[in-house]
Structure 1
Amino acid sequence: MSKGCNLPEELYYFIEKHVWAKPEDDGTVLVGMTDVAQSLAGKIIVVSLRSLDKTLARGKSAGTLESGKWVGTIPTPVAGKVVAINEQLKKQPSLINSDPYGEGWLIRVQPDDWQADQAILATGVEGVAQYRSKLEAEGIECNS
């Protein structure tokens, strides 16, 4: 935890964009918003995700999100093809607020080159320390 933010060490973070990636045993990668992102956004009311089979470049939009105080795109930390979207978010967008690393995941991607993406993302104790430094520098605190 940093400033009230939950930052699991096993995830891979695209720190600048407040999104995470988690490699799965089947070779796919789950993508979601961090606790920091959901905290900054506030109560999420609408989530619109890219369609299945859509190929995304790293940093491009995986979908859009609307909260009481923010509307914007959600960049993907991994390049590849969307092989699953979290349909539950259509009915319960607040899952991103309550469980950003579990039931609030956004998309599952078949990565083009996980090794290359992984090398750019922050992970582990060092990655979480980098993320904490950014949060402190920007005065960001989570209220989760």
Structure 2
Amino acid sequence: MNIHGLDFPDHLLYAPDYNLWLHEEANGSLTLGLTAYGCAIYGQIFAFTPKRDGQHIDKDRSFGVVEFAKAACSARSPLAGVIQVSNEAVVRRPALINQDCYGAGWMVRIQPDDWASARADFLSGDDALAAFAERMRLDGYDPEDEGVQALGRD
């Protein structure tokens, strides 16, 4: 799946309002990471400081802080749960988020409080693409803007 040259892999779930992707792990935990669109609008990421492993976070609360060119923002969780593990490779080398946001650049793994109920809040396939297309429209996203770091651009 692709919008404006930005990839959104089919096998993932998405939380467009958070610019996050989620992957269901075999043990019931969820891996979370920043989408290609999130990387494009934030630009080069200089630091990721996660909350400590084992900490419980509520929905809409921060699981860490992301620092980029001229600002920093809280990475908010789209669901409640316990942070099982943070990606230490990303803490040491935050550029991994920009370089491989759907692979080595994952951010945290969370054990959700109630995945059976929360799962319906996340999108996949054409529903996810439509939601991101609308988000881009509302954000005034212009992939031709030289200030945008669009992943996959030659």
TM-score interval, normalised by the smaller of the two chains: over 0.9
Alignment of 1:5-44 (within 5 A): 5-44=6-45
Partner of 2:150: 143
Deviation at 1:93, TM superposition (A): 0.2
Deviation at 1:16, TM superposition (A): 1.3
Deviation at 1:5, TM superposition (A): 1.4
Partner of 1:88: 89
Partner of 2:55: 54
TM superposition score normalised by structure 2: 0.87
Residues 13-39 of structure 1 show CA distances to partners (whole Å, capped at 9, x for unaligned) of 221121121111111100111111111
Q: Does 1:120 align with 2:121?
A: yes
Partner-residue secondary structure (3-state), 1:122: coil
Deviation at 1:58, TM superposition (A): 1.6
Q: Matches of 2:67 and 2:59 in 1, distance apart?
A: 22
- Conserved 8 A contact 1:83-1:108: yes
Partner-residue secondary structure (3-state), 1:119: helix
Instruction: Please list every run of 5 or more consecutive structure 2 residues that lacks an aligned counterpart in the other structure.
Output: 144-148
Q: Matches of 1:42 and 1:67 in 2, distance apart?
A: 7
Q: Does 1:108 align with 2:109?
A: yes
Counterpart code for 2:21: W
The structure with the larger Rg is 2
Identity, in percent, stands at: 27
Q: Matches of 1:127 and 1:20 in 2, distance apart?
A: 10
Partner of 1:99: 100
Instruction: Please list every run of 5 or more consecutive structure 1 residues that lacks an aligned counterpart in the other structure.
Output: none
The runs of at least 4 consecutive aligned structure 1 residues that moved more than 3 Å come to: none
